Amino acid sequence: MSAAVHGEPADPAALVQAWDDQQSAYIAGRESRFRAITDIVGLACGAEPVIVDLACGPGSLSARILDALPGARVVALDFDPLLLDLATGTLGSDDRFSVVEADLAGDTWPDAVAAATAGAPISAFVSTTALHWLAPQTLLSVYTAAAEMLSDNGILLNGDHFRFDGRQPTLRRLAEAHDAHTQARAHAAGSATWDQWWATATARDGVADLAALRDERFAHRNPPPTTAVDFHLAALAQAGFAEVGTVWQLLDDYVVMGVK
């Protein structure tokens, strides 16, 4: 078990490693999904892509992109000040990386991203395990704004659980059993749970203000009802992407892609 989950003083790198461990307990193919996204960005976006990581958390996907693509620049957006602080603490010394603190459910985030990219054409919007926090109509707005901001032939890649619904009861049962099995195995091996990770992350000296601001912003938000993959493909098409499809899948965990 990571030292970070015992409530001991933990530096940002240890906390982000513990974040990756706890997230992997909920997302069996997390690293494979990251790899699919970085490979596709590398193939589709040229040698010096400008990439926006939507709802980046502590920067797990951004870090993998920067590792895999030396010419990339990443602008990482989130509304959680504590997670952004960890992203800055681990990636902030890389001059290819910058953060934007903004709410995807509001209407000012596109301007904040445009300011951060300083007018450079955006090659890709990417996101993992995050946009399920947005209500369907908000998600459509985010997809639409992203399509408008992308350069010609730019891409969007969104990796997340898109749950099977009543149309696929067998697949839903298998996906739920697989999730339960993945969690049981990871937690037995010592990964922190979501709640344990947050208890450690917020108990550190000097983060009380960030934790309070986080609570103020998120305490009253609950995830909306789940959506299935066909909703996302239709929403991407509606948002203006000329070509849409699924580029990676493990049961109900997908990466969907839109090409402008």
Ligand X SMILES: C[S@@+](CC[C@H](N)C(=O)[O-])C[C@H]1O[C@@H](n2cnc3c(N)ncnc32)[C@H](O)[C@@H]1O
Give contact residues for ligand X (rule: CB under 6 A). 23, 55-57, 60-61, 78-80, 83, 103-105, 128-130, 133
Contacts of 238 (CB under 8 A, 6+ apart): 140, 143, 144
For ligand X, the closer of residues 168 and 193 by Cβ is: 193
Are 226 and 162 in contact, with CB atoms under 8 Å apart? yes
Are 35 and 63 in contact, with CB atoms under 8 Å apart? no
For ligand X, the closer of residues 233 and 255 by Cβ is: 255
* Residue least distant from ligand X (Cβ): 57
For ligand X, the closer of residues 168 and 198 by Cβ is: 198
For ligand X, the closer of residues 78 and 85 by Cβ is: 78
For ligand X, the closer of residues 44 and 213 by Cβ is: 213
* CB of residue 139 to ligand X, shortest distance in Å: 10
* CB of residue 120 to ligand X, shortest distance in Å: 22
Nearest-angstrom CA–CA distance, 92 and 12: 11
* CB of residue 40 to ligand X, shortest distance in Å: 16
For ligand X, the closer of residues 133 and 241 by Cβ is: 133
* CB of residue 66 to ligand X, shortest distance in Å: 14
The alpha carbon of 254 is separated from its chain's Cα centroid by a whole number of angstroms, namely: 13
For ligand X, the closer of residues 72 and 83 by Cβ is: 83
* CB of residue 62 to ligand X, shortest distance in Å: 9
* CB of residue 167 to ligand X, shortest distance in Å: 26
The encoded tokens of residue 139 equal 């998600």
Biggest alpha carbon distance in the chain?
50
> Sheet holding 73-78: strands in order across?
97-101, 73-78, 50-54, 122-128, 150-161, 253-259, 243-250
Helices assigned H by DSSP within the chain: 12-26, 30-44, 60-68, 81-91, 109-117, 136-149, 169-188, 194-202, 208-218, 229-238
Are 126 and 155 in contact, with CB atoms under 8 Å apart? no
* CB of residue 166 to ligand X, shortest distance in Å: 26
Are 87 and 221 in contact, with CB atoms under 8 Å apart? no
